[in-house]
């Protein structure tokens, strides 16, 4: 077969992948609408819609003719250069196809429908502090996720199969090793900080911050770091998220609390960081591996970088605090910028993950990582999850949730079937610190640029190094490519020590 014929087959493969992405994007739009606009009474029929569409997407992804094309091309001359666009595309598509064909159609549809219904039950259960109403759905979800893991197969443990959906080619044992190393260094650092007599006045963050002003201010800052509102939007939801629905259509969400400034503001920064990644992917590659994010851990690195390494830095508030005072004169007119900076960087063991500070956040992730492994392996029964959750919080953070709404019911992930997702948050923090340190080394005085409100150099560095690469590299390979070394807890620990010890031990 000549080169023109191989190229024609390759174009067929790409057309099929793009059509599949088109279908999947419709499903993502249904999911966005479900969590932002849909009336509660629409839940049952929406679950049917999502089940039906999930089935269509799965049939498209497992089409035998497409599989035959991928198999033929796997040994073609197009694979001669392993780093060529064609070779990377075919290699990644073949890997995903080989996974998808292992999953029964009925299981895929049931997983999608269950996740849709369970999220609505979870939302009400959390509001009502009603564990009993959610418990059957948690039980069903983990029953289905065990079936998924068994269908996919795994090298060492069931969790490997599910983790691979979010962090490809990453093993549970590898993540556990990195997080254990982080925990062993983090716990004494947190104890040292918390034991300091110096404390910020965090009450100033609980003054009255009008919702409308929070939204306007948040939108302005998101736009300043580069989020394009002509190709995206900001809405309200129970649990903030970012959804890339296709080229030039990225939806971010937040939730507002008029007596908690950080909740919405840092939520917007976080989701805008995700949005910058989605908006920075190559549009001409949408639906193909080179137009898709590397992994959720790398995706999370972008949100945590903008939320924490930029958004909670002294340089950032040197630039932004005068503007914050203009938006919230009643709350901030008598506040010094140094006091505000200290307040938004308070280190205090807390119950709620999404409100946790930089230093204690990863302990929240370790708790969830350990619990969902036990639930998946059957070492922990769903009925015992609340008690196990509370015990972990006593063990890691010295706190006990007063109720399940602030405990086992606080996160949407298990209701959405996102088992294996949680560790990507901690990986994201590690990636973010290592990437930011490299950006500082290459860009010069990055803090001075941030203090001037110049975010473009950092944004373009991230776009070039990460966003525009798509899935050219796996996450671990990408880190070595950019920073010259594998993922390590050291950059994050150095960042935390350099930031918090002067604040708390000055």
Phi-psi region of 192 (alpha: psi -120 to 50; beta: other; left: phi over 0): alpha
The per-residue pLDDT for range 172-225, each reduced to its tens digit, is 999 999 999 999 999 999 999 999 999 999 999 999 999 999 999 999 999 999
Predicted pLDDT of residue 39: 94
The per-residue pLDDT for range 460-482, each reduced to its tens digit, is 999 999 999 999 999 999 999 99
Predicted pLDDT of residue 2: 75
Predicted pLDDT of residue 3: 75
Q: What percentage of the chain has pLDDT greater than the value 90?
A: 98
CB 108 within 8 A of CB 58: yes
In this model, does residue 230 exceed pLDDT 80? yes
From the list 385, 390, 393, the residue with the least C-alpha distance to 364 is 393
In this model, does residue 82 exceed pLDDT 80? yes
The per-residue pLDDT for range 352-396, each reduced to its tens digit, is 998 899 999 999 999 999 999 999 999 999 999 999 999 999 999
Distance CA(167)–CA(281), nearest Å, equals 18
Q: Say which residues have a Cβ less than 8 Å from residue 61's Cβ, sequence separation at least 6.
A: 20, 96, 97, 100
Predicted pLDDT of residue 238: 84
How does DSSP assign 50-70, residue by residue? Answer: HHHHHHHHHHHHT-HHHHHHH
The per-residue pLDDT for range 439-456, each reduced to its tens digit, is 999 999 999 999 999 999
Predicted pLDDT of residue 262: 96
In this model, does residue 326 exceed pLDDT 80? yes
In this model, does residue 506 exceed pLDDT 70? no
In this model, does residue 158 exceed pLDDT 90? yes
Distance CA(237)–CA(354), nearest Å, equals 14
Predicted pLDDT of residue 367: 97
Rounded to 5 degrees, what are φ and ψ at 235? Answer: -135, 180
Quick check: is 271 catalytic? yes
Predicted pLDDT of residue 239: 82
Q: Packing angle between helix 361-377 and helix 158-166, nearest 10 degrees?
A: 130
The one catalytic residue among 271, 292, 307, 370: 271
Q: What's the mean pLDDT in 49-65?
A: 96
Q: How confident is the model at residue 425 (pLDDT cuts 50, 70, 90)?
A: very high
């Amino acid at each position: 077969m000549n080169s023109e014929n191989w190229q024609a087959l390759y174009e067929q493969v790409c057309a099929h992948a793009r059509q599949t992405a088109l279908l999947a994007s419709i499903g993502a739009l249904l999911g966005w609408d479900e969590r932002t606009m849909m009336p509660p009474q629409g839940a049952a029929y929406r679950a049917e819609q999502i089940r039906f569409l999930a089935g269509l997407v799965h049939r498209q992804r497992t089409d035998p003719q497409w599989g035959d094309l991928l198999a033929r091309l796997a040994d073609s001359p197009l694979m001669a250069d392993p780093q060529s666009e064609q070779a990377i595309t075919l290699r990644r598509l073949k890997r995903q196809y080989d996974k998808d064909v292992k999953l029964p159609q009925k299981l895929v549809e049931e997983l999608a429908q269950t996740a849709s219904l369970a999220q609505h039950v979870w939302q009400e259960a959390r509001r009502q502090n009603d564990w009993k109403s959610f418990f059957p759905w948690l039980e069903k979800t983990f029953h289905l996720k065990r079936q998924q893991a068994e269908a996919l197969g795994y090298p060492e443990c069931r969790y490997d199969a599910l983790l691979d959906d979010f962090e490809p080619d990453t093993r549970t044992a590898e993540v556990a090793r990195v997080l254990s190393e982080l925990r062993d260094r983090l716990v004494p650092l947190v104890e040292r900080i918390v034991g300091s007599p110096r404390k910020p006045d965090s009450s100033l963050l609980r003054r009255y911050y009008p919702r409308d002003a929070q939204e306007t201010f948040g939108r302005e800052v998101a736009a300043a770091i580069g989020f394009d509102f002509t190709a995206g939007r900001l809405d309200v939801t129970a649990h903030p998220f970012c959804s890339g629905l296709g080229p030039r259509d990225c939806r971010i969400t937040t939730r507002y609390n008029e007596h908690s400034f950080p909740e919405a503001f840092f939520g917007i920064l976080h989701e805008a960081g995700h949005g910058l990644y989605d908006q920075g992917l190559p549009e001409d590659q949408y639906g193909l591996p080179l137009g898709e994010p590397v992994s959720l851990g790398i995706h999370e690195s972008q949100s945590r970088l903008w939320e924490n390494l930029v958004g909670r830095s002294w340089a950032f508030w040197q630039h932004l605090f005068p503007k914050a005072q203009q938006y919230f004169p009643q709350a901030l007119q008598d506040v010094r910028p140094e006091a505000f900076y200290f307040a938004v960087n308070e280190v205090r063991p807390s119950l709620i993950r999404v409100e946790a500070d930089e230093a204690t956040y990863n302990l929240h992730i370790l708790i969830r990582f350990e619990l969902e492994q036990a639930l998946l392996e059957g070492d922990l029964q769903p009925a015992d999850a609340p008690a196990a959750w509370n015990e972990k919080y006593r063990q890691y953070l010295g706190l006990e949730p007063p109720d399940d709404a602030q405990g086992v019911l606080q996160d949407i992930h298990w209701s959405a079937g996102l088992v294996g997702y949680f560790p990507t948050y901690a990986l994201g923090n590690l990636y973010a610190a290592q990437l930011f340190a490299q950006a500082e080394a290459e860009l010069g005085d990055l803090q001075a640029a941030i203090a001037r409100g110049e975010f473009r150099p950092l944004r373009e560095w991230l776009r070039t190094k990460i966003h525009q690469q798509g899935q050219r590299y796996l996450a671990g390979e990408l880190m070595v490519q950019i920073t010259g070394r594998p993922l390590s807890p050291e950059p994050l620990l150095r960042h935390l020590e350099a930031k918090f010890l002067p604040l708390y031990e000055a």
